[in-house]
Amino acid sequence: MDAPVAFTSEHEEFASWVREFAAEFSDGYNDRAHSDEFPWELARAMGKQGLLGLGTSEERGGQGLLGEELTKTHLGIAHEELAYADFYLSQLAYTCNLTAPLLERFLPAHRADEYVPGIVNGDHIVALGLTEPGSGSDAAAMRMKATKVDGGWRLNGEKTSITFAPHATAMITFAKADDGQGGGGITAFLVPLQQEGVTIQRFADPGWRPLGRAAVFLDDVVVPDDLLIGGVGNGFKLVMKEFDYTRSVIGLMSSGVARKALDLGIAYARDRTAFGRPIGANQGVSFPIAEQATKLEAARWLCYRALSLADLGRPFTKEAAMVKWWVTDVALETIRQVVILHGHTGFAEEMPLQAMLRDVSGLEIGEGTPQIQKLVIARSLIGRETVG
């Protein structure tokens, strides 16, 4: 019970720094939600502000490694504040602040110098390629193969539902490695996407449109040894180590969007009049707002509880799973209630509410479905030997 769940003045200052930057982009969210054009202007503005280098060393253009001055709680604050202004700001930060530190830590220095500064500056983006058709949340069931060849590895297989893939310079991907000497296991590679043997098939999605999502096919794609990440057989550990953190942050991205929707609903309840008084005077309007505000506040602090445990070096798998299935659910219900409050105008594309529903729905199905999260929670509470 000793994990901090209250912000210090330093946390508040950090939140204000992010909030003030993000506010100027808020009005453009709905237009971007209906466009397939990648928001490079957002990425470069965020890079200039330092928001794509949280957790990357100052030597490579970042704001410093986690554990020095920044913590995972700081990252959570940044993602929530960015999502409040524009979901796409938050998703850009989420991916870049995962990939840049990962590549800096595990690639040889000359390769890290090649890729990391461009991510931090917003000049290019590196996608994360884990999911495969038929395996979903079961990372151990992947079928992509990596076979050792002279000077590198030959990769064959398909990754699907890969965010940023249509626009990415490279993709961190995972494959079952065969080193030819009886060794292997799930291994991570950085795969440049502009090379022979790579085919990208973009999906036509209702949400996340400017970010892009695609299937990526690798057909005898050779990756040199110096683009292997973390050693042969360590890929699964890298994935599982990050899941608890990423699920906690996804909750704050969801809650950030939902807080914005709720604020729109509160303003509407004050300003819209019917029968000579604001509609917020009616309990049928005010009670759903009160209910969702309460649930959303509880959901937000569950996210920060998980990140606080992470900063203390304590296990938080159970809390992260609770966040992933419940917070996104609360966020979606909050947005739906605001849509109902607005009536037919809440259904119109001229308002951002439908875009918010689509974008948060994308978060709900990523990083493990709600059913998987409930299984993780049940195993933690009852025991794997009982739940299975």
Cβ atoms of residues 162 and 214 within 8 Å: yes
Compute CA distances 226 → 64, 107, 108, 117, 174, whole Å: 24, 7, 7, 18, 15
What does the alpha-carbon distance between residue 197 and residue 35 come to, in Å, rounded to a whole number? 29
Contact present, 15 and 188 (Cβ < 8 Å): no
- Closest to 157 (Cα-Cα) out of 146, 167, 148: 146
Is 114 one of the catalytic residues? Answer: no
How many other C-beta atoms can be found within 10 angstroms of the C-beta atom of residue 182? 6
Give CA–CA dist 62/96, Å, rounded: 11
Averaged over successive runs of 10 residues, the pLDDT of the chain (388 residues) comes to: 74 96 97 96 97 97 91 96 98 96 95 98 96 74 92 96 96 90 84 96 95 97 96 82 89 97 97 94 96 97 94 92 94 97 94 97 79 88 86
Alpha-carbon distance of 294 to 334, in angstroms, equals 10
The letter for the amino acid at 291 is E
Q: Cα separation of 190 and 226, whole Å?
A: 9
Q: What is the pLDDT of residue 235?
A: 81
**Cβ(195)–Cβ(221) below 8 Å:** yes
Distance of CA 314 to the CA centre of its chain: 22
Q: How is residue 214 written in tokens?
A: 């695609």
pLDDT value of residue 368: 67
pLDDT of amino acid 1: 52
Q: Do strands 213-224 and 277-278 pair parallel, antiparallel, or not at all (unpaired)?
A: unpaired
Per-residue model confidence (pLDDT) at position 83: 98
DSSP state string for 333-365: HHHHHHHHHHGGGGGSTTSSHHHHHHHHHHHHH
Q: Which among 20, 104, 367, 385 is annotated as catalytic?
A: 367
Local structure of 45: helix, strand or coil: helix
CB distance 1 to 314 below 8 Å: no
Amino acid at 63: Q
Q: How much is the pLDDT for 228?
A: 96
- Domains recognised in the chain with CATH numbers: 9-124 (1.10.540.10), 128-232 (2.40.110.10), 236-387 (1.20.140.10)
pLDDT of residue 180: 73
**How far apart are alpha carbons 318 and 330 in whole angstroms?**
18
What confidence score (pLDDT) does residue 134 get? 78
Q: What is the CA radius of gyration of the chain?
A: 21
